[in-house]
Amino acid sequence: MRSILLVAFASGAPLALAAGTEVRIGMQLEPPNLDPTGGAAAAIDEVVYANVFEGLTRFGPDGSVLPGLASEWSAEQGGRYYVFALRDGVTFHDGAEFSAEDVVFSLDRARADDSTNAQKALFANIERIDIIDRTTVEIHLAEPSGDLPFNLAWGDAIMLDEASAADAATKPIGTGPFRFERWVQGDRVELVRFDDYWGEPAALAKVTFKFISEPTAAFSAMMAGDLDAFPVFPAPENLAQFEADPRFTVSVGSTEGETILAMNNAKPPLDDVRVRRAIAKAIDRQDIIDGAMFGYGTPIGTHFAPHNPAYVDLVEQSAHDPEGAKALLEEAGVTDLTLSLKLPPPAYARRGGEIIAAQLRQVGIRTEIENLEWAQWLEQVFKGRDFDLTIVSHTEPMDLNIYARPDYYFQYDDADFQALMASFATETDADERQRILAEAQHKLADDQVNAYLFQLAKTGVTVTGLQGLWENAPTQANDMTGVGWSE
């Protein structure tokens, strides 16, 4: 535990940074509100996570779980309950003191019956929270689990003060190194340095998040000098131009986004594994990565992130093989197949979809493309399961257990897999966890639940000289605590 703390401190140490400086960060989507516990939009976390709000634990740039408002913790009784030691002298932006009561309030609020927290499952296992003293809490679980510190690092688990929680959507009051200044809806959010922060003060005096949804506009804004950074630059085709320009630096990292061609496993003929395998074989991953993402992205063979140490490389199992695909289709007795391909807005889906449609046509499968807005996609595909094929990127870390939910939109219902995931949830031995993960990956690849395309890359553009932005996205956030201008 101590070694982790040391590493954390070392990696968080600021460089020789100019004080009193500002930064303008570009984002594609504007958050609908600023309360990460009340909605699912990643954009909310991208603005407030680690900047305005903090939780008991937090994610580091490499995905590791680091201390947040809790300076240390320990698991007791094999993970049956945890003791968290809270930091002292922490204040909210409105001056209120942070203490154990706020922990109880925040977690109870999240797991309440009428809570609108989008990740309620994270808190489902919590039975009760005991206040030992002002800076110590005990969290008791219904079932022993090793996941609690990880779960508490999510943006949905950040700490709020009861007095200011009701207005969190429009006036977020947290404990972070930046406090909320203003939100010009449709345009930008402004944060300023919080001088009474409990930890190392931020190097930046002001951070402005500007919302630019059009990829062209994003490009123009960077080129024209209207922005200092665009951490998730939406148009990979322009990256070469930024790389060639000494004014800018391009960083290519990884995300937790497994981009998949999801197939409706409950709808014939997609319920036949041979048909699904045929579709997977018809796909040339590299063509999609090149055509849709201009070369940025890593091929995956199963639903797991390649940068994760437990990853098993199963790409070859479903390598591009049109002849093999045709043979499988014949074997399954499928001729003259037409499938609906519903695509949400992102480029990986729209462009990737067109490429996949052409590849499927080569093996005799016709597709009807329908471009949908997110609201329609959620309604038709996600809730209504009215689709054959769709392309989407699942960006939550360690989200294998979506395959253990038979009512999840692609409707994979396999008792063996469900049992596997159940055993993983209660397993605390590291080697055994690794083994289970490997088995799960093999199963998902063998059953070809979906066609696994590539891991989404995090391509960010910054003005040369701006340091400290995360290269990878273990969680969707723009942690500005270690960001500043170099001399």
Partner 1 sequence: MLVWLAGRLVSLVATLLAASAVVFLVIEVVPGDPAAYMLGMNASEQTVAALRTELGLDRSGIARYLDWIGGWLQGDFGTSYTYRTPIVDMVAERITVSLPLALLALSLAVALAFPAALFAASRRGGGADAGVMGLTQLGIAVPNFWFAMLLVLLFSIKLRWLPSGGFPGWEAGIGAALTALLLPAIALALPQASILTRVMRSSLIDALGEDYLRTARAKGLSSGAALWGHALRNAMIPVLTIIGLQFSFLLAGAIIIENVFYLPGLGRLVFQAISSRDLVVVESVVMLLVAAVVLVTFLVDVAYAWVDPRLRTR
Partner 2 sequence: MSLRSLLPGLVLVCLVLGAALLSFAWTPYDVTKLVIADRLQTPSMTHWLGTDHFGRDILSMLMVGARTSLAVALVAVGIGVGLGVPLGLTAAARHGGALDELIMRTNDLVFAFPALVIAILITAVFGPSALNAIIAIGIFNVPVFARLTRGAALSLWTREFILAARVAGKGAVRISLEHVLPNLSNLLIVQATIQFSLGILAEAGLSYVGLGAQPPIPSWGRMLAESQTLVTLAPHVALFPGLAIVASVLGLNLLGDALRDWLDPRLRHAR
Q: Do 203 and 483 form a contact (C-beta atoms < 8 A)?
A: yes
Q: Is residue 358 part of the contact set for partner 2 (CB under 8 A)?
A: yes
Q: Which does 309 bind (CB under 5 to 8 A by kind): partner 1, partner 2, none?
A: none
* Least Å from the CB of residue 182 to partner 2: 29
Query: In the chain, what is the greatest distance between 2 CA atoms, to the nearest angstrom?
Result: 70
| 376 alpha-carbon distance from chain centroid | 21
Q: What angle, 0 to 180 degrees and rounded to 10, lies between the N-to-C axes of helices 322-331 and 273-282?
A: 160
Q: Which is nearer to partner 2, 225 or 333 (CB)?
A: 225
> Which residues face 415 on adjacent strands?
none
User: What contacts 402, CB < 8 A, 6 or more positions away?
Assistant: 394, 408
- CA within 13 Å, CB half, 295: 5
Q: Which is nearer to partner 2, 81 or 377 (CB)?
A: 377
- Which range, of 157-165, 313-321, 370-378, 413-421, touches partner 2 by CB under 8 A? 370-378
Cα separation values, 128 from 70, 75, 87, 122, Å = 18, 15, 21, 14
Q: Which is nearer to partner 2, 35 or 354 (CB)?
A: 354
Q: Which amino acid is at 47?
A: V
Chain residues in the site for partner 1 (CB under 8 A): 30, 32-33, 39-41, 113-121, 169-170, 184-187, 210-214, 216-217, 220-221, 223-226, 373-376, 378-379, 382-383, 396
Q: Which does 40 bind (CB under 5 to 8 A by kind): partner 1, partner 2, none?
A: partner 1
Q: Kindly tell me which residue out of 21, 136, 298, 376 binds partner 2, with binding defined by CB under 8 A.
A: 376
Of 107, 117, 113, 114, the C-alpha closest to 140 is 107
Q: Residue 107 corresponds to which tokens in the numbers above?
A: 């977690």
Q: Is residue 101 part of the contact set for partner 2 (CB under 8 A)?
A: no
Residue 64: exposure state from Cβ atoms within 10 A (0-12, 13-18, ≥19): middle
Q: Which does 118 bind (CB under 5 to 8 A by kind): partner 2, partner 1, none?
A: partner 1
Q: Is residue 388 part of the contact set for partner 2 (CB under 8 A)?
A: no
Q: Which does 369 bind (CB under 5 to 8 A by kind): partner 1, partner 2, none?
A: partner 2
Q: Which is nearer to partner 1, 77 or 185 (CB)?
A: 185
Dihedral, CA atoms, 53, 57, 60, 66, nearest 10 degrees?
140
* Least Å from the CB of residue 307 to partner 1: 22
Q: Is residue 185 part of the contact set for partner 2 (CB under 8 A)?
A: no
Q: Which does 241 bind (CB under 5 to 8 A by kind): partner 2, partner 1, none?
A: partner 2
Q: Is residue 355 part of the contact set for partner 2 (CB under 8 A)?
A: yes
Site string for partner 2, 228-267 (x = CB under 8 A): -------x-xx-xx--------------------------
Q: Is residue 340 part of the contact set for partner 2 (CB under 8 A)?
A: no
* Least Å from the CB of residue 238 to partner 2: 6
Q: Kindly tell me which residue out of 128, 134, 182, 361 binds partner 2, with binding defined by CB under 8 A.
A: 361
Q: Kindly tell me which residue out of 346, 353, 482, 484 binds partner 2, with binding defined by CB under 8 A.
A: 353
- Which range, of 101-109, 188-196, 214-222, 268-276, touches partner 2 by CB under 8 A? 214-222
Q: Kindly tell me which residue out of 101, 108, 272, 370 binds partner 2, with binding defined by CB under 8 A.
A: 370
User: What contacts 186, CB < 8 A, 6 or more positions away?
Assistant: 30, 211
Q: Do 147 and 82 form a contact (C-beta atoms < 8 A)?
A: no
Helix, strand, coil percentages, rounded to 5, for the chain: 30, 25, 40
Q: Kindly tell me which residue out of 158, 357, 436, 466 binds partner 2, with binding defined by CB under 8 A.
A: 357
Cα separation values, 467 from 59, 148, 177, 178, 229, Å = 19, 32, 17, 18, 10
CB atoms within 10 A of CB 210: 20
Place of tokens 């390649």: 306
Residues found near partner 2 in the complex (CB under 8 A): 214-216, 219, 235, 237-238, 240-241, 287, 290-291, 350-351, 353-355, 357-358, 361, 369-373, 376
